[in-house]
Amino acid sequence: MNSLLILIGESGSGKTTVAEKLMSDYGFKMIDSYTTRPMREPNETGHTFVSDSEFDALEKVVGFTNYHGYRYCATEPMVDDGDIYVLDPSGVEFFKNNYHGTKNPIFVKLEVSDLNRYLRMINRGDTHEDAMSRIEYDRIAFFDLDYDMKINNNDINRCVNILSLLLNDFFNDTINATLKTEKGE
């Protein structure tokens, strides 16, 4: 069974940035969730942007959340083919209740100071009001969220290095266990 890194964290905690860096630097595959939200910028990554009718036609949905009227999800085949998935708190619960595929999920919460989160949201184009609203919303949404570990992400390169080691350890343990099973050990 392969491991799946599930990144969770408040808005502006760098989830997508960390996932993209793990992809580019280490070759891990991120799951681009489907969403009905419009793109924030022309070449935005991390999502597949679809219409409401296209979203409604999706099957085997295992990760789902609705935020500000926009829906986000992933399907079981997408998850089974990926290494990293970015989720919010309601998506975590939906995933835990609906995913029965081949991956072993590892839930990692990225933590960042409110000031750094605010600055990151402003730099990506959010308004002051939207950033402050998201910070307040996240205080409640993440209050008692269950996860396997948390990592400080004020330094993205340090965070990525830690997560790459974690992923390699889990993947190598999985590969070694599979090889021992195939050899009959």
Would you give per-residue pLDDT tens digits along the chain (185 residues)? 488 999 999 999 999 889 989 999 888 899 988 999 999 888 887 789 999 999 999 999 998 988 889 999 999 999 999 999 988 888 898 999 999 988 889 999 999 999 999 999 999 999 999 999 999 999 998 988 889 989 998 888 898 988 888 877 665 544 344 434 444 55
The torsion angles phi and psi of 74, rounded to 5 degrees, stand at -140, 155
- Domain limits for position 29: 2-183
Give dist(CA 32, CA 108) in Å, integer: 18
The torsion angles phi and psi of 89, rounded to 5 degrees, stand at -55, -45
pTM of the model: 0.80
DSSP 89-118: HHHHHHHHHH--SSEEEEEEEEE--HHHHH
Total count of domains within the chain = 1
Rg (C-alpha) for the chain, rounded Å, is 17
| CATH number reported for the structural domain that contains residue 135 in this entry | 3.40.50.300
Give dist(CA 95, CA 89) in Å, integer: 10
Q: Quote the tokens at residue 157.
A: 């390169």
CA distances from 62 to 66, 91, 132 (A): 14, 9, 30
